[in-house]
Chain A
């Protein structure tokens, strides 16, 4: 917090985006249907953060605030795009197999499966799972999503069952 008190808004935005860029990219990917869609969403998140930062008074951790803004933007992004998404539409560019070892390829495939599984989760479960996978605890997730920590626990349990089932069914 002390760090943020004397930095310019631009520097603050840059710091936040740089520090959590991989996490934000993953978060956006779980709500996007293609790399281009995800990149658009990332830009929307950056814009929303730019607009919201002046209102941040340190009521919660900066990371929680960042994820709250990002998460809200992801939700409204879903409302802005066309609703019909077939699974075939959810497509991220394939890696070039020549550049990877077998172990890396297997990791890549597992990650892709996990992403596809998460993308198919109902929204109320998807939001808590993604935040959980980013390392947030129940309290932080509750802060971002706006439900009680107990509710987060219940949702995560149900989400886990559904995600397991989805991952089993995915090719």
Chain B
């Protein structure tokens, strides 16, 4: 192939010089960005574990120290949802940790799976959020002492923060994120078709 005159000419033109903006700023920014990204990746790994320990631990501590039926029920419910969240996330992320091979096709495939997994995870997350909100409200209605009427319950601090404010925010963010990931998935599928498209 090195004898191919046209490719030889193109290669000479191509390699004469890199495009102009080969800036030192890029090189300088890389090490900083690598360090920042590594920190974020560590936080990303530690984050869910920290949430599990802090939220689960606090609920447990509260249940043990107060001994009320409501706190006990909320602690059980929290751990149930934590377990569900972990199981769901691990299940949905199966097969997406790394590509099956080192090829571009395998890389694109795993990117597609990651997109699909992210979309499914968000749906699962919204379901979990709504489920936990409903169950928490139900437990409060059943076990709170003194009992709260429906109106007081609907406007309790927990309902305002997690329900009236948190739920619309989380659902809106989910819609935006799923839409973005869907667009990316569409483009990845298109790339996959293009990469497989020569029939050779």
Contact = CB atoms under 8 A, between A and B. Distances in A.
Bound together? yes
Interface of A: 10, 13-14, 17-18, 21-22, 25-26, 29, 35, 38-39, 42-43, 46-47, 50, 68, 71-72, 75-76, 78-80, 83, 92-93, 95, 107, 110-111, 114-115, 122-125, 127, 132-135, 137-138, 144-147, 151, 153-156, 158, 160, 163-164
A70 B42 CA distance: 23
A122 B38 CA distance: 35
Contact of B6 (A17, A22, A134, A160): A160
A72 B30 contact: no
B33 interface: yes
A114 B14 contact: yes
Given A111-B16, A137-B1, A160-B7, A75 B198 contact: no
26 contacts: A17-B30, A18-B27, A21-B27, A22-B15, A22-B17, A26-B15, A39-B21, A43-B26, A43-B30, A46-B34, A71-B104, A75-B108, A76-B111, A92-B20, A111-B13, A111-B14, A111-B16, A123-B195, A132-B11, A144-B104, A146-B103, A146-B106, A154-B200, A155-B198, A158-B198, A160-B7
Interface in B1-54: 1, 4, 6-7, 10-11, 13-23, 26-27, 29-31, 33-34, 37-38
Contact-residue size bin, chain B (C-beta under 8 Å from the other chain): 35 or more
